[in-house]
């Protein structure tokens, strides 16, 4: 996923990780070689607002702030689908 983050950023699509615990999130980022912004949601307010029931939960939000796609988990087999979503949102 990391190689796509700068590509998406150049397209105007930004990736923000929402997490509830700083240490485990830092380990996750380090283990997966990810460099991205993190919003620490210690109270669970953000997760509650979006109806998060499982982690990781990915929301694709367009420029108008509308959720266009949501998915649970992150699998390498889905990278093409995610890249296509990013291209669609960048339009």
pLDDT confidence of residue 52: 84
> pLDDT by residue (tens digit) across 20-52?
889 988 998 888 888 888 889 999 999 899 888
Looking at residues 67-87, what average pLDDT do you find?
84
**Residue 82 lies in domain:** 4-90
Structurally, the chain folds into a number of domains equal to 1
Strand, coil or helix: what is 19?
strand
| Residue 17 neighbours by CB under 8 Å, 6+ apart | 25, 29, 34, 36, 37, 38, 39
The predicted pLDDT at position 56 comes to: 76
**How many C-alpha atoms does 76 have within 13 Å on its Cβ side?**
2
Query: CATH number, domain at 58?
Result: 3.40.30.10
- CA 25 – CA 11 distance, rounded (Å): 26
Other Cβ atoms within 10 Å of 35 Cβ, number: 9
pLDDT at 54 over 80: no
Q: Which residues contact 58 (CB under 8 A, 6 or more apart)?
A: 70, 71, 72, 74, 82
- Is this prediction's pTM over 0.75? no
């Amino acid at each position: 996923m990391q190689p796509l983050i700068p590509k998406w950023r150049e397209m105007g699509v930004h990736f923000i990780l929402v997490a509830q615990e700083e240490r485990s999130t830092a380990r996750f980022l380090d283990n997966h070689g990810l460099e991205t912004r993190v919003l620490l949601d210690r109270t669970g307010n953000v997760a509650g607002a979006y109806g998060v029931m499982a982690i990781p939960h990915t929301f694709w939000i367009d420029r108008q702030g509308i959720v266009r796609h949501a998915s649970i988990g992150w699998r390498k087999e889905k990278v093409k689908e995610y890249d296509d979503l990013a291209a669609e949102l960048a339009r």
